[in-house]
Amino acid sequence: MRYVSTRGSAPALDFEGATLAGLASDGGLYVPESWPEFSKQEIAAMRGLSYVDTAVAVMRPFVAGCLDDATLKRLCTTAYGRFSHDAVTPVIQLDQQHWLMELFHGPTLAFKDVALQLLGQLFETFLSKRDAHLTIIGATSGDTGSAAIDGVAGRAKIDIFMLHPAGRVSDVQRRQMTTVFAPNVYNIAIDGSFDDAQAIVKALFNDRDFNGRFTLSAVNSINWARLMAQVVYYFYTAVRLGAPERPVAFSVPTGNFGDVFAGYVAQRMGLPVAKLIVATNVNDILHRALTTGDYSCGTVTATATPSMDIQVSSNFERLLFDLAGRDGKGLAKMMADFESTRAMTIPADMLAGSKDLFVSARIDADGMSDVMRWAHERTDQVIDPHTAIGLAAARNAGLPADVPVVTLATAHPAKFRDAVERATGVRPHLPARMGNLFEREERYDTLPATKEAIAAYVAERATPAA
Ligand SMILES: *Cc1c(COP(=O)(O)O)cnc(C)c1O
């Protein structure tokens, strides 16, 4: 499989190249040259397969030419062997129509483990064949950082520098990053916001001199391999609930549009997806974009769902690429205008192409708390605030009663226990596998929120490109 950039001018790469590059050199995102499609029979044949075997079946076409089945299976077995539930992503029935897909059984309690455990394995496999050393620089509002660190800690040919906004991630999130003492892990608390951290990372990637000295790579969801790993659980769950004969809807708590884009990919591959519900909090750029075509940045409001507090949804570009008939040069122009004006109006004919599949909803703090209480009182489930945004959107969507609606439970409630306690009165316990997280020593450096300070820190510690 070849990968092309959404902005039409970066060279096409194979799966290995796209995984190691992260972002395309023209500023675009890599997508497969075409969507592989499964027949009804091929989907039906996934019935009864384990998670790992489903993963091999679903990802095989995307890695073709770079990984054989046996290698892919070995990597998946290692990655998903670290999950605490045998089914990896089990589903729970809430009522006649609604289900939860639990994506938080990985090492750091959020769905990002599903992708980043595999990405760590892929990096190691690809680097072992080359004389190369990877320097990962990332910014996190909490979940990506801990999952990425867990995915690459201790790997010889990778260093990871993770920036988080000082004082603005939950205590569980911070400790999951700062108590990892592997020699290749560097945690940096910056005196600034998540947006500041992200801007610094972007500036380092765009700095030709700095970028030329190190082999930089990205672990945020602009990396195609992450999205690919997430396509798997849409198949795994839908098949369990009756696909390919019966269409299934999914409600996805959304920030950067990565998780829900993976659902879109599943649909393009032939999975009967009745609807994809894009659930946002009050930072609703995607809800506005999908309902009225108004894709314009506002300011970010801090909420109880920090992983969805975004200004721009990077992966939305991948959907726009398809909606624009895969005209990369045309999209490059639209994105350049967007980057200078911070606003874009999606043409009505382009938007029309999204209406059959996508619906969206904006859920505020009251809507979130109400559904957390409903879930607790009526279904005996304590859910995290992000999941609650998804479930509220699912319950409001008004889908026909015979369509099962699966809400993606993106984080374990203990990861956001203060917010859960405020809404439900219940303080969720950390799972036993977290061990003595609150007794362990923490290690991180605090730096000013400037590109120069971070660049100097990284340059002193990272391994230069060969
Ligand atoms: C990252 C995250 C999201 C948002 O996912 P996107 O792929 O960025 O849309 C939602 N919930 C939780 C708990 C997350 O960590």
Task: Report yes or no on 348 lying in a domain.
Answer: yes
Specify the pLDDT at position 385.
97
Amino acid occupying residue 444: Y
Task: Report yes or no on 249 lying in a domain.
Answer: yes
Q: Is the CB of 309 under 6 A from ligand 1?
A: no
Amino acid occupying residue 427: R
When divided into structural domains, the chain yields a total of 1
Specify the pLDDT at position 155.
94
DSSP H helical ranges for 397-445: 417-424
Specify the pLDDT at position 362.
98
Q: Whose CA is nearest to atom 1 of ligand 1?
A: 307
Name the residue among 310, 383, 389 with its Cα closest to residue 140.
Answer: 310
Specify the pLDDT at position 305.
94
Is 112 among the residues known to form the active site?
Answer: yes
Find the helix or strand (DSSP H, E) in which 18 lies: helix 15-21
Whole-angstrom distance, CA of residue 184 vs CA of residue 191: 23
Task: Report yes or no on 218 lying in a domain.
Answer: no
Q: How many CB atoms lie within 10 A of CB 349?
A: 8
What is the per-residue DSSP string for 49-83? --HHHHHHHHHHHHHTTT--HHHHHHHHHHHHHTS
Dihedral sign (CA 96, 101, 105, 107): negative
pTM of the model: 0.96
Q: Is the CB of 259 under 6 A from ligand 1?
A: yes
Q: Are strands 294-296 and 343-345 parallel, antiparallel or unpaired?
A: antiparallel
Ligand 1 test: best mutation among 283, 410, 417, most atoms within 8 Å of CB?
Answer: 410
Q: Is the CB of 258 under 6 A from ligand 1?
A: yes
Q: Does a cis peptide bond (omega within 30 degrees of 0) precede residue 272?
A: no
Identify the residue whose tokens are 């269409």.
247
Residues spanned by the domain of 321: 91-109+226-424
The answer to whether 287 and 310 have CB atoms below 8 angstroms apart is: no
Burial group, residue 345, by CB count within 10 angstroms (0-12, 13-18, 19+): middle
| CATH code for the domain in which residue 318 is found | 3.40.50.1100
SS3 state at 345: strand
Task: Report yes or no on 401 lying in a domain.
Answer: yes
Task: Report yes or no on 435 lying in a domain.
Answer: no
Task: Report yes or no on 275 lying in a domain.
Answer: yes
Name the residue among 237, 228, 269, 273 with its Cα closest to residue 49.
Answer: 237
Task: Report yes or no on 134 lying in a domain.
Answer: no
**pLDDT in tens for each of the 466 residues of the chain?**
999 999 999 999 999 999 998 888 898 999 999 999 999 999 999 999 999 999 999 999 999 999 999 999 999 999 999 999 999 999 999 999 999 999 999 999 999 999 999 999 999 999 998 888 999 999 998 889 999 999 999 998 999 999 999 998 888 999 999 999 999 999 999 999 888 898 899 889 888 899 889 988 888 778 999 999 999 999 999 999 999 999 999 999 999 999 999 999 999 999 999 999 999 999 999 999 999 999 998 888 989 998 998 888 889 999 999 999 999 999 999 999 998 999 999 999 999 999 999 999 999 999 999 999 999 999 999 999 999 999 999 999 999 999 999 999 999 999 999 999 999 999 999 999 888 999 999 999 999 999 999 999 999 999 988 6
Task: Report yes or no on 331 lying in a domain.
Answer: yes
For the CA of 387, the closest atom of ligand 1 is 11
Identify the residue whose tokens are 């984080």.
411
Find the helix or strand (DSSP H, E) in which 359 lies: strand 358-362
Token pair, residue 307, equals 């992983």
DSSP H helical ranges for 256-364: 258-268, 285-292, 316-323, 328-341, 348-352
SS3 state at 456: helix
Specify the pLDDT at position 219.
84
Beta partners for residue 29, in sequence order: 23
Alpha carbon of 98 to those of 93, 241, 396, 428: distances in Å? 6, 11, 12, 22
Specify the pLDDT at position 101.
98
Whole-angstrom distance, CA of residue 430 vs CA of residue 170: 13
Token pair, residue 345, equals 């109006």
Task: Compute the distance from residue 253 Cα to the ligand 1 centre, in Å.
Answer: 6
Q: What is the dihedral of CA 101, 103, 109, 111, to 10 degrees?
A: -130
Q: Is the CB of 112 under 6 A from ligand 1?
A: yes
